[in-house]
Each structure stands twice: as C-alpha cells, then as structure tokens.
Amino acid sequence: MAKIGFRHPWVAKYNRSTGTYTDGFKCGHGVSLNIAPNYAEGSLFGDDVQVEYEKTFKDAAVSLGVTTLPQVAESTMFGHTVSEEGEVTYKTTDEGNYVGTGWISVEKIDGVTKYTGNILTCVKFSAGAEDYTTKGENIEFKTPVLEGKAIADANEAWKKYEQFDTAEAAAAYVKSFLNITENTSEDTTP
C-alpha cells in the first residue's frame, strides 16, 4: 500500500482512569505526521547460544505538524491557562494532558483509493519550538510542530485503524472513537 495523503488531525482529552475522551477538536489542517515506535528488547543466552529473544512495545515518538494550533489546544493539550478574553498564560507548573489523536490517511491499494481512520489512543504532547522570520522577498510559511510520546491506554492498545471506501466513513470512525460531535468539533467537514 502507498500512503498518498494525511488529513484532518483531531485531538481529544483522554481520561486514563475512565478510558473516555472529552473536549475534542480539529487541530488545524494536517501538514505532517511521523510515528516512530520504540521497543524494549532482551536476549537470553544459554549453552553459548541465544535461546530466547523478546521484543515488546515501549512507546512511540510522535511528531505532528499542523497549519495552525487552535487556542483550545493550549488548555486541552498543554494545560496552559486561557482567560475568557483569550489571553494564554504559560506557567512553569503547567502539566500537559494525555490526549487521543486521530487522522485520516489516504492510501492506494492495487490502484484503488482507500481512506484509513487512524487513532493513537494515548499521547502526551509538548509544544514544539517557535520560529519567527521577517517577511522578505519571498513568502515563507512557519507552521507548528508538536512533539509527543504515545503510550498504551488502559486496555494496552496504543494504535487503532480501520480502512474505508470514503473519507466521510473514515472521519466518522475517528470522531466516534474520540467522542467528537458536531458540538465539540470546530470543523465538521470530513
């Protein structure tokens, strides 16, 4: 299968004790996503040869690039204070929340386009570096990149996905899992 697209990053706060998602929103438009699983490994040697080998999931490094970071992400994802007037305050004591993160990938399988609803069930992000440049002769876009760590949820799952024939069905799958409704999502398009 060939991945040919990345669309619609959604985020919702994850409650580890109840396994539920709340406060979901669309996190800008998807620019890039990189997921790099990390594994714990161990070998057992006996009689001068390897007799056992074990490799288990530990966590996954996640890098999410978006066109813009909605203000709701400041409190939902990073634990910053957002006033009613819209002022955001970063404190040294702020602690980020675990979130579920979902998106749609577009793939070609034997010449047929498929839409995959993907979910990382439990991720803790931190805001990436901020980069500003004065406008020069050419326009240069600077977009946020969030760095995070995905771990297993209460059911020991860290990633889920399902393939669909339409983008709408893939979006419905992700939104349903993350408990994102028309009232909680800033963007209702699939």
Mean pLDDT by 10 residues, the chain (190 residues): 88 95 96 96 93 94 94 94 92 94 94 96 88 80 91 95 97 97 54
Tally of domains in the chain: 1
How high is the pLDDT of residue 171? 97
How high is the pLDDT of residue 61? 97
**122 near 12, Cβ under 8 Å?**
no
How high is the pLDDT of residue 183? 59
Query: Is 81 among the domain residues?
Result: yes
How high is the pLDDT of residue 137? 84
Query: Is 189 among the domain residues?
Result: no
Query: Is 184 among the domain residues?
Result: no
**The amino acid at 126:** S
* H-assigned helices in 68-138: 71-76
Report pTM. Answer: 0.87
How high is the pLDDT of residue 70? 93
Tokens 């799958």 correspond to 173
- Residue 54 structural domain: 2-177
Query: Is 190 among the domain residues?
Result: no
Query: Is 185 among the domain residues?
Result: no
How high is the pLDDT of residue 174? 97
Query: Is 36 among the domain residues?
Result: yes
Query: Is 165 among the domain residues?
Result: yes
**Separation in Å, CA 106 to CA 116, 163, 166, 173, 188:** 6, 9, 10, 15, 19
Query: Is 76 among the domain residues?
Result: yes
